[in-house]
Structure 1
Amino acid sequence: MSLTGRFWFRKSWTGRLILLVEEERPRWFGRGAGKPRWRNAKLMDFAEPELRPLMTMEKHHRAGAASAQVRTLRPVPSTPEPKAANG
């Protein structure tokens, strides 16, 4: 069974995001080409060269988020101005 490189995401009933991968399953007794099927991804699937584009997408997404400015909701406290000496 080999991965084709196609992947998809679905949401479970509890709201978790699940990665689906497509693989070629050999037919019984070796007749004809394999049959594609979708299954939930396993941890070892990420080591396959077919899923390398998915891993590079993740790297680019995280690199872009790190360079973005972080905005705070609280105003930045200003420093008080020094009082002028009367005299």
Structure 2
Amino acid sequence: MALTGRFWFRKSWTGRLVLLVEEVRPRWFGRGAGKPRWRNARLMDFAEPELRPLMAMEKLHRTGTASATVHNLRPVPGGPELRAANG
């Protein structure tokens, strides 16, 4: 059963995010080409070379770009806003 490299996300009815992967399953008794099907991902699927683009996206997201930074709505005590005011 070989992965095709296609993946998708879905939410379960309990609210969890589930990764789906597409794999080609051989038909019964070797008749023709395999049939693609979607299934929930397993831990060992992340080691497959077909899912390397997914792992690369995760690394790019965590590098500290502007979209990945966390902004506080309340000022932090002793933060730069208070230091500038105390001058």
Task: Calculate the TM-score normalised by the size of structure 2.
Answer: 0.80
CA–CA separation in structure 1 for the residues paired with 2:22 and 2:35: 10
**Counterparts in 2 of 1:25-36, with a 5 A limit?**
25-36=25-36
CA–CA separation in structure 2 for the residues paired with 1:11 and 1:26: 28
* SS of residue matched to 2:82: coil
| Paired-residue identity, % | 77
Tell which deviates more after alignment, 72-81 or 35-44.
72-81
Q: Which residue of 1 is the match for residue 21 of structure 2?
A: 21
CA–CA separation in structure 2 for the residues paired with 1:42 and 1:73: 38
Among 68, 74, 77, the alignment partner of 2:82 is: 77
CA–CA separation in structure 2 for the residues paired with 1:28 and 1:71: 55
**Counterparts in 2 of 1:56-71, with a 5 A limit?**
56-63=56-63, 66-68=64-66, 70-71=70-71
Higher Rg = 1
RMSD: 1.7
* SS of residue matched to 1:73: coil
* 1:42 paired to 2:42: yes
Q: Where does structure 2 lack aligned partners over 5 or more consecutive residues?
A: 76-80
- Alpha carbons of 1:74 and 1:52: their partners in 2 closer, same or farther (altered >3 Å)? same
CA–CA separation in structure 2 for the residues paired with 1:27 and 1:11: 29
CA–CA separation in structure 2 for the residues paired with 1:23 and 1:37: 6
* SS of residue matched to 2:60: helix
Return the offset for 1:70.
Answer: 4.7
CA–CA separation in structure 2 for the residues paired with 1:25 and 1:70: 43
Return the offset for 1:14.
Answer: 1.2
